[in-house]
Amino acid sequence: MSEFRFELLATDGAARRGRLHTSHGSIDTPIFMPVGTQATVKGLTPEMLHSVDARIILGNTYHLALRPGDQLIAEQGGLHRFMAWDRAILTDSGGFQVYSLAQSRKITDHGAIFRSHIDGSLLELTPEKALQIQENLGSDIAMCLDECPPGDASFEQLQQAVERTILWAKRCRDCHRRTDQALFGIVQGGTSIPLREYCAKSLTALDFPGYALGGFSVGESPESMQATLGPSAACLPSNKPRYLMGVGRPRDILNAIAVGLDMFDCVMPTRNGRNALAFTDDGVLRIRNACHKRDSAPLMSNCFCYTCRHFSRAYLHHLFLAEEMLGPMLLSLHNLAFYLQLVAQTRQAIEERRFTTFYSSCLARWDSSA
């Protein structure tokens, strides 16, 4: 019997404070999920992720199926044991690769065929195959296979992608067998609100345990994304978790929480960390800049991550100039701490019914430092 359930604990306007229960622990929402595409959050150990209170991380169906293979991971006891992670895992279905690897895949109603970016071999990813891989991985939350169109897709292309996404969602639901794994449907439709509403209505009828909004941050403008998010979120059941896939600037996360979304992921905090960019309350620091050479201050005085408790900006500046691997590790850790502290502060603000004030103060601070 699945232990997955969702509680809605508080609201402040459209913003929601909730709690997800999984067989690998409870997760307070809104929540940010570090991305561990290939069974690792780049440069960070599970203990480091524990230290910033990461409760759930992501793995990727397409990448793990290619290397090392989902059967091998199943033989090793599943993805949790394989990567020594004792908290929750969500696995993406490979639908984003339908978008990002468009030059090396062929797509039909049956499924998508990819040419491996590793060795050129072919991988066929059907709804049934995507679910089989995720069941072998043993994630707590699996995602339906969907078609993610680019931001500049025509209305006809968006419509075709929506119909295919609904078709594939039905097939995913019908073949899903693991009772300890929740299956989420993914709403597509680009920036077309009528298509989003149609897709959401069709998927809601299938009664998934949770729902995601996919197909954002794929080339559309931030303004058009924001205009679409609110009406799209409003179409989703209020008693189910709502996940915005792959959208990761801090302001975008707050904007999405403001319209009622609960779960977020993005490679931005770790990718920026590897490139010497640190998120702070006062905006982004470029730690390679010469102004940090003699700066004895931490990245943030009110951050309690390992990086800020032990190291100065001057030391971090030195690590990047010396091309030492510790620099990207320490900045990645801090950036994840920043994101997870931000959503924790947001949860508290919603509970205390001061979300609007908190939201406005964050945006004003970031805008003044831009």
- Distances from the Cα of 244 to the Cα of 20, 198, 219, 276, angstroms: 15, 18, 16, 26
53 catalytic per annotation: no
CB 346 within 8 A of CB 12: no
Tokens 């004792």 locate to 86
Q: Which position among 140, 146, 252, 265 bears the catalytic label?
A: 265
277 has which bridge partners?
286
Active site residue 109: no
**Three-state DSSP class for 167?**
helix
List the catalytic residue out of 92, 140, 146, 262. 92
Eight-state DSSP code of residue 306: H
Structure tokens at 366: 């970031």
CA pair distance 262, 269, nearest whole angstrom = 18
Pairing of strands 88-92, 141-143: parallel
DSSP conformation letters of 317-331:
HHHHHTT-THHHHHH
Question: Which residues carry out catalysis?
Answer: 92, 265
